[in-house]
Amino acid sequence: MEQFTMVYRLWTMDNQLTISLNQIGRRFNRDWIFKGIDYTFTTGESYAVLGPNGSGKSTLLQILNGSLGPSTGKIEFALDGLALEVEKVFNYLSLAAPYLELIEEFSLEEMIDFHFKFKNYQAGITKENLIELLSLPGSKAKLIKYFSSGMKQRLKLALAFCSDTPMLMLDEPTSNLDNQGVDWYLNLVERFSAGRLTIVCSNQEHEYSFCKHRLSISDYK
């Protein structure tokens, strides 16, 4: 736990994290998903990665979070002007995505405790606050496998937003959410995205309307 406290102190000093893409491309077998992307993502800004289903948004996000390497080109991560090794990037980001699995055999309380062994809470947030945010005060002992798809999505989002990291990455954030859930998501954006490097992969405007910058995958085919 001491290791992650050190990470927290490191990034909060100046809070400047950048991701620089230089002619990034990714292919599957012989087919290029995208190529020739030159772009820089910076702390304090919000970005929407746009494109239809199957266009490569999620693939690009995986490259940006260091879990997938590009087929060509170069990606560089920097923290306060110093190079950040790709193997350490996960310490500085929170991710919510449809392909990100929750541990179904855990209870709600166990899932939260497990997640925050690796991340710090946002200032002023506790486990009890997070459960209250989910409107699930009576479900602490309920197993995740008995949650609806909408509640699982809310939990993924709450864990990501309430983690004290300089990067926030969201892939199709309102999937499985109803209109009330969409409003709840937008409230999280308002409360917890300020000052972070926020990237949203989406083709639904209500998910990314707050983003200041737009990158269309279709421009790099």
Residues 6+ apart with CB under 8 A from 50: 57, 202, 203, 208, 214, 215, 216, 217, 218
Closest CA to 10 of 165, 198, 181: 165
**Dist. CA 126–CA 141, nearest whole Å:** 17
Residues 6+ apart with CB under 8 A from 126: none
pLDDT tens string 94-142: 999 988 999 999 999 999 999 999 999 999 999 999 999 999 888 999 9
Q: What is the pLDDT of residue 92?
A: 93
What predicted TM-score, i.e. pTM, was given to this entire model? 0.90
Question: Residue 7 above 90 pLDDT?
Answer: no
Q: What is the pLDDT of residue 14?
A: 56
**Dist. CA 7–CA 2, nearest whole Å:** 9
Query: Is domain 2-220 in CATH 1.10.10.10, yes or no?
Result: no
Domain boundaries, the chain: 2-220
